[in-house]
């Protein structure tokens, strides 16, 4: 390996098997890493995050006290921890296609099959230092861009790549000039950019879902696919409302609250959703999307009119 300041890198190593932990730790120590904290489960990750964020997380996917993929998804969506861009290598014994899919969809950087060889592990770490993939943001995903060249054009969409702050690279190449405060400012600024992109993707997703939900409710009782879409719509509306805090789009908040209320009523109605509520879905979704594109005043007026319709008793 070329000379890097690997002794400055803080690694969190998680594996339920003590012997495997020791083996991986020895590989890391033998190759210049010095700060390796070990643990056996999700509680150890959470405990470490409360003290200070590591620069790299290496963890088995099967933890006795929780799902690594679920945790990584929450991290990437900034629900836990102070750095949603933390480099993550997942490990697994004979990972199945479902295991790989779960890790990929969570936003982890890589998955490596055990037993790990020293060369294999070090190669993956060096890739994260030298050539980490840029991130992309969709309504359901935040993480490394794994698309093939031209794939988004084939789908008729353009999703911007984001070069996220890489603390692992910053530490390994700092050569004594690391500015921790500057790195955190870069993380905070990039988090705001990701959040705005997430709002945009959610707005498109809400309209896409509504266009599928409304025909599914034409005969009253929703089928299984329509019910799943309604549950997804409720999540999108709630997450959009949560993400608008501190953005220039506070004027859309009332529309999101109305969409949450209407979607919740339809879900709770079971086989007999109100036709009035169903009719409100499309104007709400369209107004939310327009709210991220147009001036505050027009959206506020639309929000007030729709809000009055939502609050009117049946």
Q: Does domain 193-311 have CATH number 1.20.120?
A: yes
- Please report where in the chains the tokens 């896409």 appear, as a residue: 208
Give whichever of 107-111, 113-117, 244-248 has the largest mean pLDDT. 107-111
The more confidently predicted of residues 151 and 287 is 287
pLDDT (mean) for 84-113:
95
Domains 6-178 and 193-311 share a fold: no
Hey, where are the domains in the chain? 6-178, 193-311
Q: What is the 3-state secondary structure (H, E, C) of 246-264?
A: CCCCHHHHHHHHHHHHHHH
* pLDDT per position as a tens digit, 159-212: 889 999 999 999 998 765 678 888 899 999 999 999 999 999 999 999 999 999
Asked if 137 contacts 194 with a C-beta cutoff of 8 angstroms, the reply is yes
Pairwise pLDDT comparison (79 vs 152), residue with the higher score = 79
pTM for this predicted structure:
0.86
Q: What angle do CA 29, 34, 35 make, to 5 degrees?
A: 125
Under a CB-based contact definition with an 8 Å cutoff, are residues 100 and 108 in contact?
A: no
Tokens encoding 203:
């707005």
Fold of the 6-178 domain: Rossmann fold (3.40.50)
The more confident residue out of 312 and 73 is 73
pLDDT tens track for 287-314 = 998 888 755 555 555 555 555 556 554 5
């Amino acid at each position: 390996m070329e000379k890097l300041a690997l002794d400055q890198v803080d690694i969190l190593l998680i594996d339920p098997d003590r012997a495997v932990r020791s083996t991986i730790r020895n590989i890391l120590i033998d190759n210049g890493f010095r700060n390796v904290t070990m643990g056996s489960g999700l509680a150890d990750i959470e405990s470490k995050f409360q003290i200070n964020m590591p620069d790299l997380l290496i963890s088995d996917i099967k933890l006795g006290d929780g799902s690594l993929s679920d945790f990584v998804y929450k991290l990437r969506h900034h629900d836990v921890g102070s750095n949603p861009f933390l480099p993550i290598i997942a490990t697994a014994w004979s990972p199945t296609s479902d295991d790989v899919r779960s890790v990929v969809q969570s936003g982890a950087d890589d998955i490596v099959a055990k037993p790990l060889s020293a060369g294999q592990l070090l190669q993956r770490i060096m890739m994260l230092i030298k050539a980490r993939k840029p991130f992309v943001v969709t309504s359901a995903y935040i993480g490394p861009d794994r698309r093939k060249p031209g794939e988004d054009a084939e789908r008729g969409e353009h999703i911007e790549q984001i070069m996220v702050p890489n603390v692992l690279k910053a530490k390994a190449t700092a050569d004594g000039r690391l500015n921790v405060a500057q790195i955190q400012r870069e993380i905070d600024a990039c988090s705001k950019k990701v959040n705005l992109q997430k709002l945009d993707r959610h707005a498109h997703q809400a309209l896409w879902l509504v266009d599928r939900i409304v025909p599914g409710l034409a005969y009253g009782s929703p089928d299984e696919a329509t019910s799943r879409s309604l549950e997804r719509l409720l999540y999108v509306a709630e997450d959009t409302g949560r993400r608008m805090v501190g953005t220039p789009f506070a004027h859309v908040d009332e529309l999101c609250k109305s969409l949450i209320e209407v979607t919740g009523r339809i879900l709770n109605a079971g086989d007999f959703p109100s036709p009035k509520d169903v009719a409100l879905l499309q104007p709400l979704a369209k107004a939310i999307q327009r709210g991220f594109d147009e001036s505050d005043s027009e959206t506020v007026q639309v929000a007030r009119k729709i809000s009055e319709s939502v609050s009117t008793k049946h």
